[in-house]
Structure 1
Amino acid sequence: MDDAELRARRKALRLTQTQFADALGLHRNSIGQMERGQAAIEPRTAAAVRALKPAPLDRKPTLSDPMERLIEQALIDAGIRFTTDQGGETESRLDFHLIDYGIEIEVKRFFTVRTGEQIARAPSVILAQGEVAVRFLAEAIRSGDFVLMTLTEAQQQSVSSLHRARRELYTDAL
């Protein structure tokens, strides 16, 4: 892990340097130095950073459909902000809209003829069809590392560019 990834992960978790330092058991000055490349990021610190996940959302499940409720609870547990089609909250009228990802989720117990029409309403849709698939998706959401997915494309390119530049400097130095 380098300074750019450390900073990107902190920002994706929506934490200040002080909050990040507290979560890692470090001083905020240490975080600042690591983010500026002035201090080494120890392997144990990198492992602790990768283990950090967003806090669960402060909300209760509201959906009555048991399949949709599985996904709703997983999103809450994973700290992923979302809206639902309940009350017309999602523009696409699909079951879930993941606010920070621009992804919609449609949950189906069984195949229906309108499924194709439904998933055509949005450019990025995850279709979970069948109880096993819905339970699998719920566990993947709950246990997955979604932190880096919140980075903008520009931030991801910046991290990649920094890695390339460092490799080139190292290669030139040899």
Structure 2
Amino acid sequence: MQPSIDNNQHHHQQNNTHPLTHPNRPFLGSSMAGDDGGRPSKTADLDAPLHVFGFEIDVVSPSLVNGRLRVTPKCCQPFKVLHGGVSALIAEALGSIGAHVASGFKRIAGVQLSINHIKAALLGDLLFAEARPVSVGKTIQVWEVKMWKIDPSTMEKRAQLATSRVTLLSNLPVPDNAKEAESILRRHAKL
């Protein structure tokens, strides 16, 4: 499933369809790295580090970025729980993608990231992450990113795993060697 990019700021707040049970969304886990029957990820080019861990992005818009991950050995610490650094990577990546779209595709740079780990995600658990803007200014954006365990039988949020705030500088010019970033993001768009 390709993620959708929506420029309507209020679309997701007015839509009563839960992002995990949206009719256009495949079964949770059906296209995750390591559990996909060898199919390549459709969102790998949006964020290479996220792709390494099997994270799949579902929705991209100026007001919401979300996606999912099955916790595999590749993203676990030695105690077979999700590594906190992977949670931080997810938070910064989703906040940055959202800020990039919200800024009109200007270059984004993380300024500060804080994360509170509330509960552990175990090897094999399903995780859902959602980033929403707190403040979108011309120079600075702040995004809140929350992560939950997902009940695989109902695909509903079960236990909150982490909450984070990502502060981003959002008015930088895009260097010539990175102009492709906008076209990659737009390629996944359904405008």
TM-score by length of 2: 0.22
The structure in which a higher percent of residues are helix is 1
Structure scoring higher RCO (CA < 8 A, sep ≥ 6) equals 2
Q: Which has the larger radius of gyration?
A: 1
TM-score by length of 1: 0.24
